[in-house]
Amino acid sequence: MKNTPFTHKHIALGAKMAPFAGYNMPISYTGINDEHATVRNNAGVFDVSHMGEFIVKGPQALELIQRVTTNDASKLTNGKAQYSSFTNNEGGIVDDLIVYCLEENKSYMIVVNASNIEKDWAWMGSHNIHNAETHNISEKTCLLAIQGPNACKIIQQLTDVDILNLKYYTFVRGVFAGVSNVIVSATGYTGSGGVEIYFEDADGNADKIWDAIFEVGTPLGVKPIGLAARDTLRLEMGYCLYGNDIDDTTTPLEAGLGWITKLNKPVAFTAQAILEKQKAAGIQRKLIGFEMVARGIPRHDYLIKDAAGNNIGKVTSGTQAPSLNKAIGLGYVTIENAALDSEIFIDIRNNPVKAKVVKFPFS
């Protein structure tokens, strides 16, 4: 099992640790509800250094990215980022990801999920027919997510770059806590604002940045946050988790990701023709959000039924939402049962428990 450059920090702080995507990761420190509330109301720090980062550069860089991703990366200019996905030959999602434009038409960074690093690297390589220059920098890249409504205000004092006015899905590069060439990106997985910072694991950078953040942040209530609260935060927003809500068998159109699936790109991406046909014919199932009407907590793989008891789908994610004081979930259902306010039933221990389809984000 691998460690991140911050594993010793988590253990010293008494975090509950567990294996995740091959890494020894902090699941919680003070408890999910407390950590969740910290991010929603103030600011918290996630170690997400287990995520993967690829550099694609050279004259063929954009062509390769266009060939393997569903969004249109030709729209990106320096300092902008884009949510996208890889699709397989059948139209399923290999991974969801973010593309960062480091230098327009010349250099890009792709950030992928930790559990898919090897799969994604091989997939991208198999489509690199024009030999774009690629580098897997995952092992030497640190990534911290400082998330919450007060995050940028608290850490602005650690850098000369303007992060207070950083627009969503843009980024800057500069010195942060005395470390040079740090990427500060207005992205995240919580829906509460904040930034993610990328930097090289060298010369004590990890300790230097972690310590600086908590030196200025601890008096203002900043806390380390584990992956359990990261999951409840993203679920309240209706954000997909790879391996639960999307995978190689679900298409972007079924997952509600048509907005990152550009079917008129100048360079056709993998399975574009399949998704064009699916869009024309209409999807048969759809990822929906639901809230429980009767008492019960939905869990991954619970069956979803209609009023007559027919199986119409499965739960992909579910929890008791800390900010909302209600049980919520995501799941795929037949298109006939996907309309807002539709009545559905979650099979909890062979008991059909009433729920209804609602919109994202949950409220």
Quick check: is 176 in a domain?
A: yes
CATH number at residue 34: 3.30.1360.120
Distance between CA atoms of residues 61 and 231, nearest Å: 33
Domain that holds residue 317: 284-363
Q: Which of 198, 216, 236 is the last residue of a domain?
A: 236
Burial track 92-105 (b if 16+ CB lie within 10 A, e otherwise)? bbbbbbbbbbbeeb
39/154 same-domain check: yes
Q: Does any domain span residue 174?
A: yes
The domain boundary, picked from 236, 270, 297, lies at 236
pLDDT at 266: 87
The count of other CB atoms within 10 Å of the CB of residue 279 is: 14
pLDDT digits (tens, 9 = 90+) for 293-318: 999 999 999 999 999 999 999 999 99
Task: Assign 320 a pLDDT band (cuts: 50, 70, 90).
Answer: very high
Is 80 contained in some domain?
no
pLDDT tens sequence across 10-27? 999 999 999 999 999 999
- Cα 85 off chain centre by: 11
Same domain, 190 and 294: no
Average the pLDDT over 243-270 and give the result: 97
Q: Position 317: which residue type? A: S
| Inside any domain, residue 78 | no
Claim to verify: residue 290 and residue 147 sit in the same structural domain: no
Pair 316, 179 in one domain: no
Question: Does residue 87 belong to any structural domain of this protein?
Answer: no
Structurally, how many domains does the chain consist of? 2
Taking 90 as the threshold, does the pLDDT of residue 198 lie above it? yes
Instruction: Look at residue 11 and tell me if it is in a domain.
Output: yes
> Is the sign of the CA dihedral 199, 202, 203, 209 positive or negative?
positive
**How does pLDDT run across 96-152, given as a tens digit for each residue?**
999 999 999 999 999 999 999 999 999 999 999 999 999 999 999 999 999 999 999
Tell me the per-residue pLDDT of 56-101, one tens digit each, with 9 for 90 and over: 999 999 999 999 999 999 999 999 999 999 999 999 999 999 999 9
Q: Is 346 part of a structural domain of the chain?
A: yes
Residues 44 and 144 in one domain: yes
